[in-house]
A and B are shown apart, each in its own frame.
Chain A
Amino acid sequence: MTEKYDFLFKFLVIGSAGSGKSCLLHQFIEKKFKGDSSHTIGVEFGSKIATIGGKSVKLQIWDTAGQERFRSVTRSYYRGAAGALLVYDIANRESYNSLSEWLADARSLASPNIVILLAGNKKDLEAERQVTFLEASQFAQENELMYLETSAKSGENVEEAFLKCCKTILGKIQNGELDPDRIGSGIQFGDSKTRLLNQEKPKKPDCFCNM
C-alpha cells in the first residue's frame, strides 16, 4: 500500500467519443487491448508509476467520456491537470475536426501551462485513414503540441506518448518553468526528500539547456 514515488502528476485523456481514449489508458496500464470496451460513463480513473530519467513518477490519469452529454461533468476534472493526451481517430475526420474545441477547453479550464500531446490513435487502421500524418503534425506545430500516432490495439507508441509527456513536465520542473508548489499545478511531491533535492537546485527560469 505504501508506494514510493518522487512526483505525482495529474493527467487527462480527452477527445471525441470513440477515438479510443479508454483503450489507450487500458493498454498503457495493463499492456492489453480491450476489444469489447463500452462507452465511458462520466470519468474513469487509472494510475501507474513510471520511471523517467531516474525519477519515479506516479501518473494519476483521468480518462474522460467523450460524449457530449457528459461534458459538464467531465469539465470539472480539467482543473489542476499537469498534462493531457488529446486523442483523435485517424480514421474519423470528425474527431480530428473537433480538436480545436477540445484544445480550447483544456487550455482555459486546466492550467495554461498544461503539457499536451496530440495522439492520432488507431494507427493500425491504415486502410481507412482519413487524416494524414502531415496534416495533423502541422496542426500540432501551430498549437505547440507534441505529436505521435498511436495504436491502442497493437500498443505502438502508447507508452511513449505518456512518457514523452511526463518527460516534458519533468524537464519544465527542473528548469523552473513549472512550480510544483503552485496550487493547481497538478504536480505533487511523493515524499519530502525530493522536495529538498529540488530546492537545493538553483532555479534557472530562463535557461532551457536542461531539457
Chain B
Amino acid sequence: MAEEVNDKSWIAELESALKEEAGSLDGGDTDAFISEELRTEIWKSCLGVQTKSTYFDEIFDLPEQRTLRLDCQQVVDKLGNDEEDKLSVLSDLESLLTYHRKSVNVPYCSGNGWIDLLLPLIALKTPKSETYLLFEAIVTKFIPRGSSFYHLFRLLLLYHDPALCSFLDTKRITPEQYSATWFQSLFAASCTLPVTTKMWDLYFQQGDPFFMLFLGLVMVINSRDDILRLTDMPKESIVNALSALPSSLQESDVQDFCSLAQFYSGRTPGSFRQDLERCLFDDEDCPESTQSITQALCLPVNVSELVDNIFMPHELSGDGLRFFLVDCRPADQYNAGHMPTAFHLDCNLMLQAGDVYKMAVQGLLSAQKQALDANSTAGGEHLVFMGCGDLEQDQYTHMVVASFLRDSSHYVSILNGGYQSLHQYFGDTVGAALTDHNSEACLVCLSNGLADHSVNEINNVQSPSKDIFGKIGAVVKSKSVEVKEKLLEYIVNPGASDVERHVKPSDKKGKRYRNTAPVFSIDDEQDPQDVSWNPEEEDDSQFEIVSFSSWRSRNDIIASYECKELKINGDTYESELMISETHVYVLRHTNSRDKAKIVVRKPLLAIARITCKKKYPQIITFKYGSANGDNLVINDMDRFYIPKATEATKLISRQIVKGFQKKSDEENENEESPM
C-alpha cells in the first residue's frame, strides 16, 4: 500500500518536472532526452495514458488477416531477436493489430504505419495492455487523417522554400508520394529504432501534432540542393530519394534536427493550427476547412493572428515572425478604411499598366526593407496579402499573390477572409482600429447597412493621413497622367523623406500624437467636457517639457511605473506612468536624461474603461470617455505595455473608486447646502 502511494507521488513529480522542461526544449539542454528506465512512464504521462487493463479477445478473423500475419512475420524476421523472443513479439504484434483494427474499424493495409508505430512501443517491454494504450494514444493524437495534411505540408514548403516546392510541383510530385510513410509512422518506418525513440522522446514532450510537419520540412529543405540536382531523373527515382531522406539520420543528429524544426515552426504563421486541428486529428468531417486547405494558393493566416502580430510591440514578438501587410483592394476601398500599417498595392495596375505595377512592387519591396531596417512595426519579412474576402472580387489579388509565388518570394501568405473578416473581427471598434475608416464608403459597412453615426463623427474630423501608403492610395484613386507620374516618383524614390517619415519613430513631432490614427485624432473635436479636463493641452500643440526628477519627487504622485506607450501606428516610446490622487500622467523619455514630455494628462475619472489583452496581460488599454445618459461615450484611448500591469491597474482602479466616492460626497453636499 505504502509503496503504491510512493509510486504515484513519484510520477507526479516527474510530470511536473516534465512540464517545466517542455518549454526549454530549444535551449539545447540534453535533459530532454530520457533515460531508458523512465521512458515508459514519461511517454505515458505525455500521452495522457491512464493505466487500465484491456481485454484482448484473441480472435483472429479479419478478412485481411492473412496479409496482416504475413507483414508481421516479415517484420519480425528482420529483427535480430532470439527465436523465443521472436515468437512472443510476433504474437503480441498480431494480437495488438487485430484488436486495434476491430476497435477503430478501419481495414488494415500493408504499409499504413501501424506496425512501424508498434515496434518502438513493443521495445519498451511493457505489459501488452499498456503497449496498446500507448499505441492508441499516438494514433489518435499524432497521426493525421485524410489528405489535407499533405496539402498543408506542401503549403509550408511553399512558404519556406518556394523554388523547391515549384520544382516538385512541376515534376508532379505530391507530398503524399514521398512523405506518407514518414507521417503515418511518425518517422518510425524510415528511421532506425534508436533515432525513432529519441525523436519520440522530444516529440511527445512537445505535444504538438503539427510539429511533425516541421520535422518533415527540415528533412526536405536540408537536402534541397541534392533534390534540385535530380532535375533530369525520372519522377519515381526522385520520389524514392525523397522518401529515403530520414534513413540517413543518426542518433546524434536528432537534437539539432528537432531544434531546426522548432526554428522553422517559430517562423511560420500558426493560425492554420486552430483552423485545421479538428479536421486533421479528430474524426470530424469539416469539408470547408479541408476544401480551403486543398485549394489554397498559399498559406492562410487568420485575422486574429494578423491583428495580434501587427499591434504587438517588437519586444514581445521575439525575432521570429513579423508581418508586412499588403492591402490589395482597389484604391477607393483602401481609402475607406485600412489597417494602419498596411501597404497599398493596387492590383488593377497589373492589368491596366504593367510597368507601373512593376514599379509599385519595387516600391513595396523597398518600403518593406526600409521598415525592416528602421525596426518599425510596419516592417516584417512575412508578407500577408489581403483582399476583399470575396472570391470573385479577389481575382486580381490572387493574380498578384501568384506572381509573387512565381518569383519564388519567401514567406507569402494570404489573409483568410480578407477585409471582410478583418472588419468583422473589430466589430463596433472598427472605426478606432482602422485608419481612414469611413462607414459611408466602406463596402462592408454599406452591405451591413450599418452607418454608425458616432463612428462617422470621429472619422470625418480626421485630418488627412500623413503616411506614404495613404498617399499612394489617394493618388492611385485618380487616374490622370500627371498623378501617375507623381506615383512613379514616390515609388521610384523610396529614399525620399516621405517613406522615411512613415517608418522612423524618431521623425515624429509632438504634434503627431494628435493627428495620426483616428483614435488619437479626437482632440480636433473637443467637446466642452473635454476642454474643462485638460485646458493645458488645448492651446499648446507641443507637449510640455518637464523635469523627471522634480516630478518624481512631487508629493501628489502616489506611484509611478515604467511603461512603453504603444501607438496604434506601431510606434513605441519608453515612458513612465505616474498616478496622483486625481490624475494619470504619462511622461515620455526624451534624449536628455532628466527631461520628459507630458504626453498624457487625464483626470482619473475620465478613464471609462481599462482593458488588457488576454494573451499579453501586460498590455493595458485606457479608454477615456464620459457617461452620456446611460451610454458610455469613448473618445480617446492610450495603450501601454506595463511590466507591473496588475499592480498598476489595481492602484488606478482603487483611486478611481475613491475619486467617485469623493465626487458623489461633494455633490451630495452641494445639493444639500442650498436647501
Check A76 against B392 for contact (C-beta < 8 Å): yes
Check B351 against A41 for contact (C-beta < 8 Å): no
Which residue of chain A is the closest to B356 with respect to CB atoms?
A1
For the complex, what is the distance from the CA of A79 to the CA of B403, rounded to whole Å?
A: 21
Check B170 against A42 for contact (C-beta < 8 Å): no
Check A77 against B295 for contact (C-beta < 8 Å): no
What secondary structure prevails in chain B residues at the interface with A? helix
Flag A126-140 by CB within 8 Å of B: 1 or 0 each: 000000000000000
Flag B374-414 by CB within 8 Å of A: 1 or 0 each: 00000000000000000110110011011101100000000
Interface residue count on the B side (C-beta < 8 Å): 25
Question: Of residues 52 to 80 in A, which have CB atoms within 8 Å of B's CB atoms?
Answer: 60, 67, 69-73, 76-77, 79
Flag B155-174 by CB within 8 Å of A: 1 or 0 each: 00000000000110110100
> Does B294 sit within 8 A of A, measured CB to CB?
yes
> Does A181 sit within 8 A of B, measured CB to CB?
no
> Does B297 sit within 8 A of A, measured CB to CB?
yes
In this complex, the interface size class of chain A, counting residues with CB under 8 Å from chain B, is: 20 to 34
Check B406 against A41 for contact (C-beta < 8 Å): yes
Check A77 against B395 for contact (C-beta < 8 Å): yes
Check A69 against B406 for contact (C-beta < 8 Å): no
Neighbouring A residues of B167 by C-beta, 8 Å? 38
Question: Of residues 268 to 303 in B, which have CB atoms within 8 Å of A's CB atoms?
Answer: 291, 294-295, 297
Neighbouring A residues of B350 by C-beta, 8 Å? 45
> Does A204 sit within 8 A of B, measured CB to CB?
no
Check B294 against A69 for contact (C-beta < 8 Å): yes
> Does A44 sit within 8 A of B, measured CB to CB?
yes
For the complex, what is the distance from the CA of A72 to the CA of B288, rounded to whole Å?
A: 13
Check A44 against B402 for contact (C-beta < 8 Å): yes
Q: B351 contacts which of A60, A69, A70 (Cβ < 8 Å)? A: A60
> Does B353 sit within 8 A of A, measured CB to CB?
yes
> Does B355 sit within 8 A of A, measured CB to CB?
yes
> Does A99 sit within 8 A of B, measured CB to CB?
no
Flag A10-44 by CB within 8 Å of B: 1 or 0 each: 00000001100000000000000000001101111
Question: Of residues 316 to 364 in B, which have CB atoms within 8 Å of A's CB atoms?
Answer: 350-351, 353, 355
Neighbouring A residues of B314 by C-beta, 8 Å? none
Contact A76:B402 (CB < 8 A) given known A41-B166, A70-B295: no
Check B398 against A73 for contact (C-beta < 8 Å): yes
Check A69 against B401 for contact (C-beta < 8 Å): no
For the complex, what is the distance from the CA of A16 to the CA of B300, rounded to whole Å?
A: 26
For the complex, what is the distance from the CA of A38 to the CA of B401, rounded to whole Å?
A: 17
Contact A69:B295 (CB < 8 A) given known A45-B351, A76-B395, A76-B398: yes
Flag A109-144 by CB within 8 Å of B: 1 or 0 each: 000000000000000000000000000000000000
> Does B151 sit within 8 A of A, measured CB to CB?
yes
Check A43 against B295 for contact (C-beta < 8 Å): no
Neighbouring B residues of A79 by C-beta, 8 Å? 392
Check B295 against A41 for contact (C-beta < 8 Å): no
Neighbouring A residues of B169 by C-beta, 8 Å? 38-39, 67
For the complex, what is the distance from the CA of A60 to the CA of B169, rounded to whole Å?
A: 27
For the complex, what is the distance from the CA of A41 to the CA of B403, rounded to whole Å?
A: 8
Check B391 against A42 for contact (C-beta < 8 Å): no
Q: B402 contacts which of A1, A42, A47, A69 (Cβ < 8 Å)? A: A42
Contact A43:B398 (CB < 8 A) given known A70-B295, A71-B295: yes
For the complex, what is the distance from the CA of A44 to the CA of B407, rounded to whole Å?
A: 12
Contact A42:B392 (CB < 8 A) given known A69-B151, A70-B297: no
Which residue of chain B is the closest to A67 with respect to CB atoms?
B169
Check A43 against B166 for contact (C-beta < 8 Å): no
Neighbouring A residues of B401 by C-beta, 8 Å? 42
Neighbouring B residues of A60 by C-beta, 8 Å? 351
Contact A72:B391 (CB < 8 A) given known A39-B169, A45-B351: yes
Neighbouring A residues of B402 by C-beta, 8 Å? 41-44, 73
Check A41 against B297 for contact (C-beta < 8 Å): yes
For the complex, what is the distance from the CA of A45 to the CA of B402, rounded to whole Å?
A: 11
Which residue of chain B is the closest to A77 with respect to CB atoms?
B395
Which residue of chain B is the closest to A45 with respect to CB atoms?
B399
Check B170 against A73 for contact (C-beta < 8 Å): no
For the complex, what is the distance from the CA of A167 to the CA of B664, rounded to whole Å?
A: 85
For the complex, what is the distance from the CA of A76 to the CA of B169, rounded to whole Å?
A: 22
Flag B638-665 by CB within 8 Å of A: 1 or 0 each: 0000000000000000000000000000
Q: A38 contacts which of B170, B355, B392 (Cβ < 8 Å)? A: B170
Neighbouring B residues of A67 by C-beta, 8 Å? 169
For the complex, what is the distance from the CA of A79 to the CA of B391, rounded to whole Å?
A: 12
Check A76 against B394 for contact (C-beta < 8 Å): yes
Neighbouring B residues of A17 by C-beta, 8 Å? 172
Check A39 against B166 for contact (C-beta < 8 Å): yes
A37 to chain B, nearest CB (A): 8
For the complex, what is the distance from the CA of A39 to the CA of B556, rounded to whole Å?
A: 71
**Extra inter-chain contacts (4) besides given A43-B402, A44-B403, CB under 8 Å:** A42-B399, A43-B399, A70-B295, A76-B392
Some 13 contacts from A to B, beta carbons below 8 A apart, are: A1-B353, A18-B172, A39-B166, A41-B166, A43-B395, A43-B398, A44-B403, A47-B351, A67-B169, A71-B295, A73-B297, A73-B402, A76-B394
- The 5 lowest CB-CB distance pairs between A and B, nearest first, are A42-B402, A72-B295, A38-B170, A41-B402, A39-B170
